[in-house]
A and B are shown apart, each in its own frame.
Chain A
Amino acid sequence: MNVITKYIKNDRFNKTSINFMFQFKIDKEDIMGITILRNLMLYTNKKYNSEELFAREKLNRFILSYGVSLQFINDIVFMNFSIILPNPNIIKDDYIENAINFILDTIYLPNINNNLYDNELFEREKRIYIENLLNDYKNAGFIAEKNMLDLVDEEGVFSKLKYKDLVNINSLRNEDVVNIYNKYIKNTLPFIFINGLIEKKIIEDIIIRYIDKLNLKRNKKLIDYTNYLVKNNYIEKKDNSHFYESFLYLIYNIKDYKENDEYKLLLINLLLNSNSSDILFNNLRKKSNLVYTCGSSCLLKNNVLIVKAITSKKNIDMSIMVIKEVMESLKEIDNYKENISNILYRMSLNLERQKDSFSSEIDKVINNYFKTDISLEEELDILSNIDKDELLDVINRLNLVSMYIMEGK
């Protein structure tokens, strides 16, 4: 039985990571529940059913780190259970099987009795979730970001995945979370990725011994990430707030979006934002002293470029003007030749820098396996080969679709 999806033998570090990844298309009504499930699976399992016992056992079994992460790409979810263990040359004890069994117990022996999670734990997680959410709504950055996303995201895809919803969480029941566990995790064999020096065969044998008694099936890998695009009609909105700072967002997309436009959008984002170019920073802060923070980000799979500035009320109009000028100036792309070459040079240096990073190699393998991202090498290759006219074509098709201002006092 071939249970290991990818194995990288890596002797440059003193540790080994094992990722158990579940990938699934999520139903909208399960989005709140999956987050609560993640938290419940982070602190207990059936054998170690309190945080206290669980935390102590992690120490006992030499688990250097244990985490459960959730990543959403539109409606596809990656739920990743990961552990990091020291390599066998570091400690004498026979720890590998104990450690792997611990995480497998956490995945397949959750703290569920009579089809319910421990109710105290469930209610507590819900309370934490609600309190944190209510607190987030007091935070200037959170409110501004949420209002901006609500404005541009017609489908509600970014907002619903990225931001939590109080109505849904209040109605969430214990049995809903158990159902979500049963639906997405219980009988599923995860994709398993290993990076380190612990032998593949050793890990594989331990996992096979464990799952032998379970009837697990691996889901078919999903690589089709639906492209949700923002609406094209221009909307401008301004809210007032009691905060000192004002938040300003200009949201762009590419008109008549074509395949491969996304890499040009990525290059535009790097031109605006990256340290080796930082056109926005130069214009908004260095030349005009209008802001302390500004930047841009892009949602490549959604054809969205977001330019953001945090400033004072008195500087809002001037900041908008400068941003619009900067965007217009991109049309004179020849003026940015040096910036582009700096970006590419910096990327080549980052390739070298990645060699010192424990996780970069395995991240690359995972991204490539699920087609969620391309490697830095591929990115450098694609960006280096973007033709000036092609880039200009995309710049000319950049379209300001929305502007959101949260004006401070």
Chain B
Amino acid sequence: MKLEKIILDNGLKVFFLNDNDKHTTYINLIVNYGGIDNKFKVNNKVYTMKDGMAHFIEHLVLESTKYGDLMHNFGKIGIRSNGLTYINRTQFYIDTVDHIYDSTKVLIKGIHSPIINKEVIDNIKKPILEEKRRSLDNKYNELYTRSLNNILDNNKYKTILGELKDIENIKESDIRLCFESFYRPSNEVIVVAGRFDREEMINTIKDAYNSLEFSNSIVNKVIAKHKNKVNKEKDIIKSDLHIDRGVITIKLDTKHYTPYDKLQLDLCLSCFLRMNFGLVSKFNKEMIDKKIINNGIGFSNYIIEGYNYIKIDTDSNRINEFVNNVIEYLDKKEFVFDEELFNLYKKSFIINLILRDDNIYNVVDPFIENFINFNYEDLDKISDLENTSFNNFKKSIEKLDFSNYSITILKQK
């Protein structure tokens, strides 16, 4: 699939991944406004919101619009749709085989035309409160939310859903302010993939936005200056679960990396984590042989506000020993760099890249992640993988500082 980028006069970025051999069309509208964006300036005046605002607005603009309940209406005509609030964005999608242009128009016009009044807010609040209560029953939610709080400097942020009292006390004027500040074309991106007519789609998007009015205020997010150290080095949460779980989150100072550097680093970290903590790793085997863990080790890397974070976690009732071993391993920096394994990973990544086009979601979803997280406006290519040598891989890992970490443990009472 070939990527095409178009910037409309209103500042909206549109990306097309056209493949008319497919039978479905997958349209994503992304608003650059997520759970963490509680502090922002409008015409130089600073506003601070409570947690949960972005998530509340996501519900509102889907469920209460001039065009009715969008998800319900889409569902009736066989269109799959949903909204998702992430830490750094709100994303709406429709996935359809019919009514492609009409539904794109309704999606754009609908989410920009919410009906906001006391009655609507009170109605939307109730299921969100239920959603929050459900999340309180899940201790793992608390673990990952706290582990994120422990590494982020912006300690105003606690949770995407907000606390029960934040949801209860949400104000109409704040909703309006946040909606008008962030739901505007210059702060949005549309990605269309699969089967569609390019010209008709571009005209549909233009027409939909031209029929809407947006505020002219100047809006900027206020991002807290990142400190070098993580917020909290160790945090223990008491739980009644049968198995303890520990998360080690390492903050890497990669703020100065270019988007392409970050793409390369993503590949290197994937190889590094598999090689050192995955099923093939000596470390994993040692932990299992010593019966410190039973199951394998989980790991991932992600980016928030320009910084890379590595997360390593496992379930074990000897969690302190596991955590100490990981920390010792990271401190020693005697990492495994296995050239043969590196080349096997590279080959498998290349094959997966070729196979990616079989499924439009496999193309679109990582593209959105890369674009939103580190502003990389392209698809990753085979040449990017081929150009990464073993020596470059080794060097890129060796120069990272793994000493800035936070440990969060879910421990039995």
Q: Is B137 a contact of A244 with CB atoms below 8 Å?
A: yes
Q: Is B344 a contact of A245 with CB atoms below 8 Å?
A: no
Say if the beta carbon of A19 comes within 8 Å of chain B. no
Q: Is B355 a contact of A275 with CB atoms below 8 Å?
A: no
What per-residue 1/0 map shows which CB atoms of A51-69 lie under 8 Å from chain B?
Answer: 1101110011010100000
Residues of B within 8 A of A131 (CB): 242-243, 294, 315, 317
Say if the beta carbon of A292 comes within 8 Å of chain B. yes
Known contacts A14-B358, A86-B355, A135-B242; is-contact A243 B137 (Cβ 8 Å): yes
Q: Separation in Å of the B384 CB from the closest CB of chain A?
A: 18
Q: Is A51 a contact of B279 with CB atoms below 8 Å?
A: yes
Q: Is A353 a contact of B351 with CB atoms below 8 Å?
A: no
Residues of B within 8 A of A277 (CB): 76
Q: Is B133 a contact of A13 with CB atoms below 8 Å?
A: no
Q: Is A124 a contact of B294 with CB atoms below 8 Å?
A: yes
Chain B residue with minimal CB distance to A287?
B123
Say if the beta carbon of A5 comes within 8 Å of chain B. no
Known contacts A52-B280, A56-B341, A349-B97; is-contact A342 B351 (Cβ 8 Å): no
Q: Is A355 a contact of B23 with CB atoms below 8 Å?
A: yes
Q: Is B134 a contact of A293 with CB atoms below 8 Å?
A: yes
Q: Is A55 a contact of B278 with CB atoms below 8 Å?
A: yes
Say if the beta carbon of A276 comes within 8 Å of chain B. yes
Residues of A within 8 A of B334 (CB): none
Residues of B within 8 A of A94 (CB): none
Say if the beta carbon of A128 comes within 8 Å of chain B. yes
Q: Separation in Å of the B411 CB from the closest CB of chain A?
A: 13
Q: Is B24 a contact of A64 with CB atoms below 8 Å?
A: no
Known contacts A135-B243, A140-B137, A275-B75; is-contact A59 B130 (Cβ 8 Å): no
Q: Separation in Å of the B406 CB from the closest CB of chain A?
A: 24
Q: Is B279 a contact of A55 with CB atoms below 8 Å?
A: yes
Q: Is A90 a contact of B351 with CB atoms below 8 Å?
A: yes
Interface residues of A in 367-399 (CB under 8 A from B): none
Q: In the docked arrangement, what's the CA distance between A97 and B358, Å?
A: 24
Q: Is A292 a contact of B351 with CB atoms below 8 Å?
A: no
Residues of A within 8 A of B63 (CB): 286
Say if the beta carbon of B263 comes within 8 Å of chain A. no
Q: In the docked arrangement, what's the CA distance between A275 and B278, Å?
A: 39
Say if the beta carbon of A137 comes within 8 Å of chain B. yes
Q: Separation in Å of the B230 CB from the closest CB of chain A?
A: 28
Q: Is A276 a contact of B341 with CB atoms below 8 Å?
A: no
Say if the beta carbon of B7 comes within 8 Å of chain A. no
Q: Separation in Å of the A294 CB from the closest CB of chain B?
A: 10
Interface residues of B in 13-42 (CB under 8 A from A): 21-24
Q: Separation in Å of the B124 CB from the closest CB of chain A?
A: 8
Known contacts A86-B355, A124-B294; is-contact A310 B134 (Cβ 8 Å): yes
Which stretch in B144-152, B197-205, B212-220, B281-289 binds the other chain? B281-289
Say if the beta carbon of A291 comes within 8 Å of chain B. yes
What per-residue 1/0 map shows which CB atoms of B287-300 lie under 8 Å from chain A?
Answer: 01000001110000
Known contacts A86-B351, A345-B77; is-contact A60 B344 (Cβ 8 Å): yes
Say if the beta carbon of B369 comes within 8 Å of chain A. no
Q: Is A50 a contact of B76 with CB atoms below 8 Å?
A: no
Residues of A within 8 A of B359 (CB): 356, 358
Known contacts A349-B97, A352-B23; is-contact A62 B351 (Cβ 8 Å): yes
Say if the beta carbon of A134 comes within 8 Å of chain B. yes
Residues of A within 8 A of B352 (CB): 64
Q: Separation in Å of the A330 CB from the closest CB of chain B?
A: 18
Candidates B241, B288, B351; contact of A135 at CB < 8 Å: B241
What per-residue 1/0 map shows which CB atoms of B106-129 lie under 8 Å from chain A?
Answer: 000000000000000001001111
Say if the beta carbon of A168 comes within 8 Å of chain B. no
Q: Separation in Å of the B134 CB from the closest CB of chain A?
A: 5
Q: Is B354 a contact of A292 with CB atoms below 8 Å?
A: no
Chain B residue with minimal CB distance to A141?
B137
Residues of A within 8 A of B240 (CB): 138
Residues of B within 8 A of A274 (CB): 75
Q: Is A275 a contact of B134 with CB atoms below 8 Å?
A: no
Q: In the docked arrangement, what's the CA distance between A124 and B287, Å?
A: 12
Q: Is B130 a contact of A349 with CB atoms below 8 Å?
A: no
Say if the beta carbon of A160 comes within 8 Å of chain B. no
Candidates A14, A52, A91; contact of B284 at CB < 8 Å: A52
Residues of A within 8 A of B134 (CB): 244-245, 292-293, 310
**Number of contacting residues on A, CB 8 A?**
59
Q: Is B98 a contact of A349 with CB atoms below 8 Å?
A: yes
Q: Is B23 a contact of A353 with CB atoms below 8 Å?
A: yes
Residues of B within 8 A of A352 (CB): 23-24, 97-98
Residues of B within 8 A of A348 (CB): 78
Chain A residue with minimal CB distance to B341?
A56
Say if the beta carbon of A346 comes within 8 Å of chain B. yes
Q: In the docked arrangement, what's the CA distance between A62 and B347, Å?
A: 9
What per-residue 1/0 map shows which CB atoms of B164-203 lie under 8 Å from chain A?
Answer: 0000000000000000000000000000001000000000
Say if the beta carbon of B304 comes within 8 Å of chain A. no
Candidates B21, B130, B281, B285; contact of A291 at CB < 8 Å: B130
Q: Separation in Å of the B263 CB from the closest CB of chain A?
A: 22
Residues of A within 8 A of B282 (CB): 52
Say if the beta carbon of A105 comes within 8 Å of chain B. no
Q: Is A127 a contact of B78 with CB atoms below 8 Å?
A: no
Say if the beta carbon of B348 comes within 8 Å of chain A. yes
Residues of B within 8 A of A55 (CB): 278-280
Q: Separation in Å of the B351 CB from the closest CB of chain A?
A: 5
Q: Is B280 a contact of A56 with CB atoms below 8 Å?
A: yes
Q: Is A353 a contact of B294 with CB atoms below 8 Å?
A: no
Q: Is A59 a contact of B241 with CB atoms below 8 Å?
A: no
Q: Which of B96, B129, B348, B360 has the most CB of A within 10 A?
A: B348
Say if the beta carbon of A282 comes within 8 Å of chain B. yes
What per-residue 1/0 map shows which CB atoms of A115-136 lie under 8 Å from chain B?
Answer: 0000000001001100110110
Q: Separation in Å of the A400 CB from the closest CB of chain B?
A: 24
Q: Separation in Å of the A205 CB from the closest CB of chain B?
A: 24
Residues of A within 8 A of B360 (CB): 356
Chain B residue with minimal CB distance to A131?
B243
Q: Is B351 a contact of A91 with CB atoms below 8 Å?
A: yes
Q: Separation in Å of the B104 CB from the closest CB of chain A?
A: 16
Say if the beta carbon of A176 comes within 8 Å of chain B. no
17 A–B contacts from the bound complex (CB under 8 Å) = A13-B358, A15-B355, A51-B296, A56-B344, A135-B242, A244-B137, A245-B133, A245-B134, A274-B75, A275-B80, A289-B123, A292-B127, A292-B130, A310-B134, A348-B78, A353-B23, A353-B24
Using A277-B76, A353-B97 as known contacts, list a sample of 19 further A-B pairs with CB atoms less than 8 Å apart, ordered by residue number in A.
A14-B357, A55-B278, A62-B348, A62-B351, A86-B351, A86-B354, A131-B242, A134-B243, A135-B243, A274-B75, A276-B75, A276-B78, A286-B69, A289-B123, A311-B130, A342-B76, A352-B23, A356-B24, A356-B194
Please report A residues at the B interface, Cβ cutoff 8 Å: 12-15, 43, 50-52, 54-56, 59-60, 62, 64, 86, 90-91, 124, 127-128, 131-132, 134-135, 137-138, 140, 243-245, 274-278, 282, 285-286, 289-293, 310-312, 342, 345-346, 348-350, 352-353, 355-356, 358, 408
Please report B residues at the A interface, Cβ cutoff 8 Å: 21-24, 63, 69, 72, 75-78, 80, 96-98, 123, 126-131, 133-134, 136-137, 194, 240-243, 278-282, 284-285, 288, 294-296, 315, 317, 341, 344-345, 347-348, 351-352, 354-355, 357-360
For the complex of A and B, 3 pairs with smallest distance between CB atoms: A275-B75, A289-B126, A292-B130
